Amino acid sequence: MTSRCAGATLLLFGVTQVWVFAQPASIEYDVKAAFVLNFTRYVEWPPSRRTAPFHLCVLRDNPFSGRLRAVVAGESWEEGPLDVVTVPDMRQAADCHLLYVPASADGVFAAGRALLNARPVLTVGEHERFLDHEGMIRLFLEQNKVRFSINQRSASAAGLQISSRLLRLARTVVGTTGTP
């Protein structure tokens, strides 16, 4: 990744806080979609999973899929296309590179999480207990700002390496030396 792209991405993380604060609540999911896209740039998948197309999946039918499609239009990953796919249940999630779990689907995720054990699928969700269910990145609103927390232990167990830049931007990081 070029330093210009990295700088623009870091700027997005900082500016996003202003957008959510200054705009109606409906913008929240546009901002979350931008975060999801940027997470793909700060996570390293094992060589066996660095294949295009990159599958950005959303668990269960949800309006977030459309917002995510709009944000990733024209973007690429590893010089290949990004593909947004809705998966009806956890059995289809094993083929995803990234799985977004809306709060309404957290029970489905928690019940089927074992199907992803040791699979390099970055899981991003919204539910307040998402990290407790071995999710990897939780997006949430705090004082009208989109924030995120990371479960480093879950990401490492799946063979994913999260950039130290992303870890520094996280509100909290679980599972690193000196943390619970």
Task: Specify the pTM.
Answer: 0.85
- The per-residue pLDDT for range 54-88, each reduced to its tens digit, is 999 999 988 888 999 999 999 999 889 999 999 99
- Cα–Cα distances in angstroms (integers) from residue 32 to residues 65, 101, 115, 176, in the given order: 11, 12, 25, 25
Residue 172: both structure tokens together: 């909290």
Taking residues 87-99, report their average pLDDT. 95
pLDDT at position 177, please?
Answer: 53
pLDDT at position 24, please?
Answer: 53
Quick one: how far is CA 1 from the chain centroid?
18
At 52, the pLDDT band (50, 70, 90 cuts) reads confident
How far is the C-alpha of 72 from the C-alpha of 165, rounded, in Å? Answer: 22
- Number of C-beta neighbours around residue 53 at 10 A: 14
HSE-CB for 41 with a 13 A CA cutoff = 22
Stated as kind and residue range, the H or E segment containing 67 is helix 64-72
pLDDT at position 118, please?
Answer: 83
Residue range 3-170, CATH number: 3.40.50
- Number of C-beta neighbours around residue 115 at 10 A: 14
How far is the C-alpha of 137 from the C-alpha of 125, rounded, in Å? Answer: 6
What residues contact 49, with CB distance under 8 A and at least 6 apart?
A: 97, 120
What residues contact 47, with CB distance under 8 A and at least 6 apart?
A: none
Which carries the bigger pLDDT value, residue 108 or residue 179?
A: 108
**Are 153 and 166 contacting, i.e. CB atoms less than 8 angstroms apart?**
no
How far is the C-alpha of 50 from the C-alpha of 77, rounded, in Å? Answer: 9
